[in-house]
Structure 1
């Protein structure tokens, strides 16, 4: 059930949220994309950008399903910028913490932890202080509207083969509801939020973790 744990770490992440409000760019802002975006698309993207940057804290139950057949549930906490905690329900022993600079992957059963720099992970899209779709390190690969639903797909511009994140929003009201991650190993993971609560008070200690033994961080 817990095979490919590290490859799923990307998917855990993705709640997308930044402290502070981004300046209100005009629709003519340059947005890097593999798509041909209309003026209406650009306006809608700026609305999504403002929404995501306005999200400060969040707490939610989640369901996670992967194309390898695995299924998990748990709780996710986000405090932007830079902090996130993902707790899986037993018997899954995994805990994921972003402490502001690192993303830490903990196996409580083995008492082992691995850390990578947060800026190197897709979680950076969500947890950076300001998310801007006109940033030169973000590439939009998909944008689709259907009744009640908006889908937005993003990759790192300098390494698009590392994985793709698709954020899925309800449009009335505008709210992040789920995301999918297609990772470099070809595994597709979907995380659905259940009863998310925004602008909640979260104890800062949720995002602290003391490594059990020395760990080298990836550059």
Structure 2
């Protein structure tokens, strides 16, 4: 029962833009010259990122936790394997994002563009235009950049958290339109690693059952 309660608290919360409430949020404050410079640094870092492998721990608003292995292959590919007993698998590829329950063998597919982390998978990441920077914060060697979809500010926001020197993606937080927060923290981060294209294939049974090990 605890596993199912945990499961119900977790699916897609760190990844999907949440439904919009009735009232929109106010306009973000203007960015300073330093803020704009830091946003450009973040863009440069993300655009230079090709592959990433890391462990993650996810904490939902109600305190429920899960962990697993994350893979990113820019542009366009992402995979999150949740450790047992959670039977979740999340894969992004070819413009689609699949949420898969390994026990029920049930997939659910949405456009990558409907997910906050879809921003990271773009071929060219520009944090302006259809994406608005809501704020830039600096604290204890960390740089936080909060963004939302310009056309739908009431949907929610995602905050990307980076180690500042050297720059490295460490965490993201999704806040939905009702103010509920889901936090995902990365550890054991490796970048520039060799990944197999097939692990991002929705239909390859070899890679649908369990965690991926490319060592």
Taking structure 1 as the reference length, the TM-score comes to 0.82
Residue 202 of structure 2 corresponds to residue 209 of structure 1: yes
Query: Which one of the candidate residues 6, 15, 19 is aligned to 1:10?
Result: 15
Instruction: Tell me if structure 1 keeps the 8 A contact 2:160–2:169.
Output: yes
For 2:12 and 2:43, the matched residues in 1 are separated by: 27
For 2:178 and 2:29, the matched residues in 1 are separated by: 24
Shift in Å, 1:9: 4.8
For 1:7 and 1:90, the matched residues in 2 are separated by: 17
Quickly say closer, same or farther: Cα 1:7–1:61, change in 2 above 3 A: closer
Instruction: Tell me the SS of whatever aligns to 1:81.
Output: coil
Residue 142 of structure 2 corresponds to residue 137 of structure 1: no
Residue aligning to 1:61: 55
How many residues end up aligned between the 2 structures?
191
Instruction: Tell me the SS of whatever aligns to 2:124.
Output: coil
Which deviates further from its counterpart, 39-48 or 184-193? 184-193
Instruction: Tell me the SS of whatever aligns to 1:10.
Output: coil
Instruction: Tell me if structure 2 keeps the 8 A contact 1:94–1:105.
Output: yes
Taking structure 2 as the reference length, the TM-score comes to 0.83
For 2:130 and 2:42, the matched residues in 1 are separated by: 18
Which deviates further from its counterpart, 193-202 or 39-48? 39-48
Q: CA RMSD in A?
A: 2.0
Alignment of 1:77-88 (within 5 A): 77-88=71-82
Instruction: Tell me the SS of whatever aligns to 1:92.
Output: coil
For 2:43 and 2:54, the matched residues in 1 are separated by: 21
Alignment of 1:1-219 (within 5 A): 1-10=6-15, 34-134=28-128, 136-210=129-203
Gaps of 5+ in 2: 1-5, 17-26, 206-215
Shift in Å, 1:4: 3.6
For 2:11 and 2:137, the matched residues in 1 are separated by: 29
Instruction: Tell me the SS of whatever aligns to 2:8.
Output: coil
Quickly say closer, same or farther: Cα 1:5–1:65, change in 2 above 3 A: closer
Instruction: Tell me if structure 2 keeps the 8 A contact 1:59–1:197.
Output: yes
Shift in Å, 1:211: 9.4
Shift in Å, 1:141: 1.0
Residues 76-123 of structure 1: CA distance to partner in whole angstroms, max 9, x if unpaired?
A: 000011100000000000100001210000011111010011122212
